[in-house]
Amino acid sequence: MVKKSLLLLIGLSLFPLCILGCNGAGDNAERTVLLRYSPQVGDKYVYSADLVGYAKLTGEMSVLSKEDSWYLVEFSGPLLSEIHTVTMEISNRHNSNHPGYISLNFPDDPVAVGEEWQGEVPWYFEHYFVLDETEIKVPASYKLLDIKQGRSGRYAVIEQTVDADLVVDELVLHVGQLGIRWDQEGRTTEVDRRYDAFDKVMVGDVVVRINGQDARTEQDRNWLAEQYIQHPKEAQIVSLTILRDGTELTVDVEKSIDELAIVRVRNMNSVVHIKFDIDRGILLSAEVSISEDIEFSPPSDGGFPIIDSYGGYSKFGYLEGRTAYQESYGGSGVAWILTLEE
């Protein structure tokens, strides 16, 4: 159960890794590499992200700077009609606390083909809707599967596996809401009197811009509503430009941050196969498979408090009218495929 409006941010979060080591096939010494993240500052790399069955995207990774053992890296790419960027820090052991990023916990010493090591990886679920910043980690195992010769040089193959019976027991999700429902044309059909929008937005008003950005198409309205209204970490004041009786006017509405659901995640299993260019120290490809069982409970009796609806769309619309919800995510094969474009 992956919600796809920020697919690029999910896809781009898996890009840069690297390995440094000795020469390829030969005796045991030549089959050993020291694993370190060490891209070249100033370089840029283009990757394609195939979120299998949903979308194919292209993004660019830029290595901005290095300080001590940490690299500042920026990922950018198109989402709808705009370019969106994500910036994060990654250690030379290839660890980062950024949501969705794969930490590899590179060991101190060189690793031989067939050798394994252990570590912990940060885990997240619907990060943009979790106000508690407490980090959740799960144990991970790693194995250097092979060192091979490719078209552009030697590359290493690493497998990461995660197998956790219980990931989190009481993860609280919040959602921003305006108390507004509109149809697929953006025309307001209902305004809840318990919310600030009441008496500011009228039934029949047509939403044409959200926070100054064009919202005339259904796709743009849905994305902007999720980004600026439903994300509880975004600014609490939302600017709506509406068309009323042929005249445009802009109103500022304070959104409510509502406790939405209590989440429990069990039976997490994931496998990530990664290929690294040893000599250049960059990611060549990654394939991610994952499955987990997710249980939702409402914060109080009476079901999940879903108020807003944007032309039938809502980030958590699948909870509307329910008093409990359970989903098994993944388990049907590869979920993401990332590839360096050369």
> What whole-number distance in Å separates Cα of residue 189 and Cα of residue 191?
7
Helix/strand/coil for 229: helix
> What whole-number distance in Å separates Cα of residue 127 and Cα of residue 79?
19
Q: Which of 254, 276, 298 is the last residue before a domain boundary?
A: 254
> What whole-number distance in Å separates Cα of residue 89 and Cα of residue 91?
7
Range of the domain at 209: 182-254
Claim to verify: residue 215 and residue 334 sit in the same structural domain: no
Claim to verify: residue 34 and residue 105 sit in the same structural domain: yes
Q: Give the tens place of pLDDT for each residue, 45-67.
A: 999 989 888 788 899 999 999 99
Q: Give the tens place of pLDDT for each residue, 266-312.
A: 999 999 999 988 888 888 898 999 999 999 999 988 899 999 999 88
Nearest to 289 by CA among 327, 328, 336: 336
For residue 51, being part of any structural domain is answered with yes
Claim to verify: residue 73 and residue 14 sit in the same structural domain: yes
Claim to verify: residue 24 and residue 165 sit in the same structural domain: yes
Taking the model in full, what pTM does it have? 0.77
Claim to verify: residue 167 and residue 193 sit in the same structural domain: no
Q: Give the tens place of pLDDT for each residue, 309-334.
A: 998 888 899 999 999 999 988 877 88
Number of compact structural domains in the chain: 2
Which residues, at least 6 apart from 103, have a Cβ–Cβ distance to it below 8 Å? 94, 95, 96, 119, 120, 121, 122, 140
Claim to verify: residue 322 and residue 194 sit in the same structural domain: no
Asked whether the beta carbons of 326 and 293 are under 8 A apart, the reply is yes
For residue 48, being part of any structural domain is answered with yes
